[in-house]
Amino acid sequence: MAGARAAAATSPGSSSSSGNPPPREPGLGELLEEFSRTQYRAKDCSGAGGSKVERIEKRCLELFGRDYCYSVIQNVNGDICGHYPQHIVFLEYESSEKEKDTFQSTVQVSKLQDLVNRSKTARCRGRFVCPVILFRGKHICRSATLAGWGELYGRTGYNYIFSGGADDAWADAEDITEEDCALRSSDTHLFDKVRGYDIKLLRYLSVKYICDLMVENKKVKFGMNVTSSEKVDKAQRYADFTLLSIPYPGCEFFKEYKDRDYMAEGLIFNWKQDYVDAPLSIPDFLTCSLNIDWSQYQSWDLVQQTQNYLKLLLSIINSDDDSGLLVHCISGWDRTPLFISLLRLSLWADGLIHTSLKPAEILYLTVAYDWFLFGHMLVDRLSKGEEIFFFCFNFLKHIISEEFSALKTQRRKSLPARDAGFTLEDICMLRRKDRGSTTSLGSDFSLVMESSPGAAGSFTYEAVELVPAGAQTQAAWLAALNERKTRLQEVRSAFLAAYSSTVGLRAAAPSPSGAIGGLLEQFVRGVGFRGTSSSTL
């Protein structure tokens, strides 16, 4: 592992010793072209294609380094996981430019490395629990689901002996031989061992909440349980964690989204299919404040389901405890990046994480790191019309409102507001500079709220007053209220423009009304992005 200071010391914009101009930073268009051409594999990062990936990874490190001190888990040649980044970022601390030169990490890097190496076999495809977002000192993590006995014994008894430890050769059940199955009875302690290390890693990262997006209890192929999940662990090894079963349709369902001309409204998953056996299960203490009727989840369309799940995840990470969150599906490279990316963008839009990044930069970071470098199979998904990747960024239009904001207020300290036109939530959205004096004796009332986020894990409280709603204050309030909306709209627009000029239009057939078929076609013709060079995006 290496510290962030070394990674950030050589900026992509620094001059070379020869006096030649530095290489141009990789843009989103270039990233999407590479992404739509091949699936990322850490072991294939060599040659011309490898140099492109190296530039993408270097750009990600630079963007992380803008706001965080971090360490790097080295995964060169995919030694730990073949479809995880070569340089896996472990965010340690949110820091200012001044603090970057003086901060001394207290993370036990060697312990983290050891737990990662020991726990990787516990999960599907070796995709171990990996922290990817740091929010108020809490780690938001991603992974695949737990490996079932079929994969676990197949890999330990076959792949790791004869295939040099390749972590992606296990996928089909025919790789599991009768000899592998015999290992099941000869070593009953293997599950305890590998899942024990997985649990130690979760505890080291202070993860308490585990959100499982699988619609199955176990993944079954050819009649065999290939993978498992924490919610059906017979030994109850994960009983000390808060387990949430929030079934969400897999990538196959998003072909229907594409076939419906990219319209998610009214698109409802068929919950009566034979393989769907995981019910929605959420502890009551996590749902009481959300005002959502969870018993109706099977009647929700794709928009409402995604919105409600995102609200749930945001409420968990915005709670008062210091516990982290793990989100996973089966392999952890379709539904998992969907929600990780939405969380990252939503928190960024509130100004709570990645505070120095512009819309184009946060978009690049989440596409490159959350999707491409964690192995999303965009090439395969595009060939099948399973456009879950596109859905993620087009969906931003559905989370622009304040109800998805993680900005949280505390209880009032004294008298209620006299002006019913201003609510406590309204005042939260005001910028500090627009709130007026905190010492004036002529204020209508004061309240206690969380300040703008500072160092991760620390909170400060200040007295904030409501001043008479003059024109300037009213304008400032409206501007602050619209900031989240504006930022997310800018990200969505930049994505659609780059996507249309690189991946290309994949419009469905025109509707009977004669309307233009395909959301992308409508967007491109409406705002004039047709023919725009990807190098300018």
Residues 6+ apart with CB under 8 A from 85: 42, 57, 60, 75, 369, 373, 374
Position 326: which residue type? Answer: L
Write the CB contacts of 477 (distance below 8 Å, at least 6 apart in sequence): 426, 429, 430, 434
Residue-level pLDDT, tens digit, the chain, 537 residues: 544 443 443 333 333 334 555 455 669 999 999 999 999 998 877 655 578 899 999 999 999 999 999 999 999 889 999 999 999 999 998 886 555 554 444 457 788 989 999 998 999 999 999 999 999 999 999 999 998 876 776 654 434 433 333 333 333 333 333 334 444 444 457 778 889 999 999 999 999 999 999 999 877 664 556 678 888 888 889 999 999 999 999 999 999 999 999 999 999 999 999 999 999 999 999 998 899 999 999 999 999 999 999 999 999 999 988 899 999 999 999 999 999 999 999 999 999 999 999 999 999 999 999 999 999 999 999 999 999 999 999 999 999 999 999 985 433 223 344 444 444 444 444 443 343 333 333 333 233 333 333 333 333 333 334 444 456 655 544 554 579 999 999 999 999 999 999 997 554 444 443 343 445 545 544 444 443 333 333
Q: Are 431 and 482 in contact (CB under 8 A)?
A: no
Domain contains 59: yes
- Other CB atoms closer than 10 Å to residue 22's CB: what's the count? 11
Domain contains 217: yes
Instruction: Write out the H or E segment, with its range, that includes residue 463.
Output: strand 461-465
Structurally, the chain folds into a number of domains equal to 1
Domain-located, residue 392:
yes
Please spell the DSSP secondary structure of 394-461, one letter per residue.
Answer: HGGGGS-SGGG----B---SSPPPS-TT--HHHHHTS-GGGS--SS-TT-S-EEEEE-S--STT---E
| Spatial distance between the Cα atoms of 310 and 319, rounded to a whole number of angstroms | 14
Q: Is 398 a member of any domain?
A: yes
- Is residue 207, in this structure, part of any structural domain at all? yes
Give the CA angle between residues 144, 145, 146 to the nearest 5°: 125
Burial class (CB in 10 A: 0-12, 13-18, 19+), 244: buried
Q: How confident is the model over 349-366, as pLDDT tens digits? A: 999 999 999 999 999 999
Q: How far apart are CA 110 and CA 430, in angstroms?
A: 43
| Rounded (5°) CA angle 261-267-268 | 155
Residue-range definition of the domain harbouring residue 254: 28-159+190-404
Residue 435 within a domain: no
Identity of the residue numbered 81: C
Q: What is the pLDDT of residue 169?
A: 36
Give pairs for 220-223: CB < 8 Å, separation 24+: 220/275, 221/172, 221/173, 222/173, 222/174, 223/173
Q: Is 447 a domain residue?
A: no
Residues classed as catalytic: 329
pTM confidence score: 0.77
**What pLDDT score does 19 carry?**
52
Q: Token pair 């510290």 is at which residue?
A: 3
State whether residue 495 is helix, strand or coil: helix
- DSSP, residue by residue, 175-191: G--HHHHHHHHH-TTHH
Q: Give me the DSSP letters along 32-90.
A: HHHHTT----GGG--HHHHHHHHHHHHHHHHHHHTTEEEEEEE-GGGSS-TTS-SEEEE
Contact call for residues 508 and 517 (beta carbons, < 8 A)? yes
Residue 468 lies in a domain: no
The CA distance from 262 to 499, in Å, is 14
Measured distance CA(435)–CA(429) in Å, rounded? 10
Quote the pLDDT of residue 418: 40
CB atoms within 10 A of CB 102: 7
